[in-house]
Amino acid sequence: MAKKTEQVFKPDPKPKRKYKHKTIRQKLDADCLELWSLCVRARNHNVCRSTNSDEQLSAHHVIEKTHRWGRYAIENGITLTWKVHCLQKSHPEQFRDKVIEIIGEEEFNRLKKKYMYQKICRRSIPDLIEVKEGLKYLLKNMEGE
Q: pTM score, two decimals? A: 0.81
Is residue 88 pLDDT above 60, yes or no?
yes
pLDDT, residue 68, reads 77
If one counts every other C-beta atom within 10 angstroms of the C-beta of residue 66, the result is 10
Is residue 110 pLDDT above 60, yes or no?
yes
Contact 50, 102 (CB under 8 A): yes
* Domain boundaries, given as residue ranges, for the chain: 40-144
The pLDDT tens digits of the residues spanning 24-36 come to 999 999 999 999 9
Is residue 21 pLDDT above 90, yes or no?
no
